[in-house]
Amino acid sequence: MRRDLRGWAGFFWQNWQQAADFCAQNKVDLPEALTWAQRAVSDPFSGGEENFTTLATLARLQAANGNAADAAKGRGRSP
């Protein structure tokens, strides 16, 4: 996934979200997956988008990484 996201796949928020979601579901590489989820939400180069799917994945990974406060807010970024 890392290699794929460095190429053309990295230009689409859907790919960042899918990679982050895979890691969340399988409980692997959670810190890196959190970064990927953040990119899916707000990266200007991949057309990051705040939608239910990206925000849900981000919240799940924030909680898994010990940041329950941000996960409870249900927002892509802190105010």
Q: What tens digit of pLDDT does each residue of 19-59 get?
A: 999 999 999 999 999 999 999 999 998 899 999 999 999 99
pLDDT digits (tens, 9 = 90+) for 2-20: 888 888 888 899 999 999 9
Q: Is residue 28 part of a domain?
A: yes
78 pLDDT above the threshold of 60: no
pLDDT of 70 reads 76
Q: Is residue 78 part of a domain?
A: no
Q: What is the DSSP letter of 10?
A: G
How confident is the prediction for the chain on average, in pLDDT? 88
Q: Which residue has the tokens 């990295």?
A: 10
User: Domain range spanning residue 21?
Assistant: 2-73
Q: Is residue 19 part of a domain?
A: yes
Q: Is residue 79 part of a domain?
A: no
Distance CA 79, CA 50 (A): 15
71 pLDDT above the threshold of 80: no
Overall number of domains in the chain? 1
Distance CA 40, CA 35 (A): 9
